[in-house]
Structure 1
Amino acid sequence: MVKKLNINNRRAYFDYELINKYKFIAGIELLGSEVKSIKNNNVSLNNSYCKLIKNNIYVFDMYVSNYLLGMNFNPKRVKKLLLKRKEINFIYNKINDLKLNIIPTNIFINERGYIKLIFFLAKSKKNYDKRQSIKNKYFEKLDKINYNSK
């Protein structure tokens, strides 16, 4: 039986305008004790980002805490994403043409038991866009409260 894994980067939805058309799913190159630690939900995607370096995509600042019974490693170790060359070339072209960022949003375990990372190509929001999204969330909550009180 495969455990449910629900790890989200909530900050990414606030700081970036994610482009749904450019959603990718990739495997992650991990150590054995990192896999066990991730399966125990000891991972955080907050403030993590991806970079394209020498035709490979790497995840930076993804925090994976040390597994108690395994070997110790650097919790913020840079991890390589496993993608096809065609996908990497497509991402490279979009980043250079449209000036986009690569932002990881979710980690999940697929039906075969492999740990996968979902990432988007995104544009960073300006401060006034962030304030507007806070305002919209506030009014949505008010509408729900008013609707439920009737």
Structure 2
Amino acid sequence: MVKKLNLNNRRAYFDYELINKYKFIAGIELLGSEVKSIKNNNVSLNNSYCKLIKNNIYVFDMYISNDLLGINPKRVKKLLLKRKEINFIYNKINELKLNIIPTNIFLNERGYIKLIFFLAKSKKNYDKRQSIKNKDSEREKKDFLIKKY
């Protein structure tokens, strides 16, 4: 029986304006105990981010609880990407001043753990307030339709 795994970073959608045109899927360099923990849903993407360091992309602050005592649960993990993709990301970050934000972790058909990340612009406070107003108005419309019928 295959366990379905799909973990989201809901905070990323609130704090950043994700650019759908720049969506990437990458493998993650993990230890054995980390793989086991991710398959048991003991992982959190909240407040995680990626950085480009020496032609490699790394994930910071991704929390993976471990059974082993000697491993840091927030250790830096390397993303596995092709050189062309890394160069493209490097050019877009420098050209457009974007951030790299991880949004999802999932298992592919072959059983490998993959990370989806976007290039994104950070929202200002007034943008966040506007998105809250939009969500509230949508919620009120749904409530009105439910009460009407």
Give the alignment's TM-score, normalised by structure 1.
0.90
Q: Map Cα deviations across residues 76-117 of structure 1 (whole Å, 9 max, x no partner).
A: 000000000000000000000000000000000000000000
Q: Is the 8 A contact 1:36 1:67 kept in 2?
A: no
Give ranges in structure 2 of 5+ residues lacking alignment. none
Deviation at residue 2 of structure 1 after TM alignment:
2.3
Q: Using the alignment, how far apart are the partners of 2:81 and 2:8 within structure 1?
A: 21
Q: Using the alignment, how far apart are the partners of 1:60 and 1:149 within structure 2?
A: 48
Q: Map Cα deviations across residues 4-58 of structure 1 (whole Å, 9 max, x no partner).
A: 1121000000000000000000000000000000000000000000000000000
Change (3 A) 1:117 1:135: same
Aligned to 2:65: 65
Q: Using the alignment, how far apart are the partners of 1:53 and 1:47 within structure 2?
A: 19
| Two-structure CA RMSD over aligned residues (Å) | 1.9
Deviation at residue 75 of structure 1 after TM alignment:
0.1
% same residue: 91
After TM superposition, what 4+ stretches of structure 1 lie above 4 angstroms from structure 2? 68-71, 140-145
Deviation at residue 149 of structure 1 after TM alignment:
2.8
Corresponding residue pairs, total: 145
Q: Is the 8 A contact 1:33 1:70 kept in 2?
A: no
Give the alignment's TM-score, normalised by structure 2.
0.91
* Equivalent position SS for 1:58: strand
Change (3 A) 1:69 1:144: farther
Which moves more between the two structures, 26-35 or 60-69? 60-69
Q: Is the 8 A contact 1:49 1:103 kept in 2?
A: yes
Give ranges in structure 1 of 5+ residues lacking alignment. none
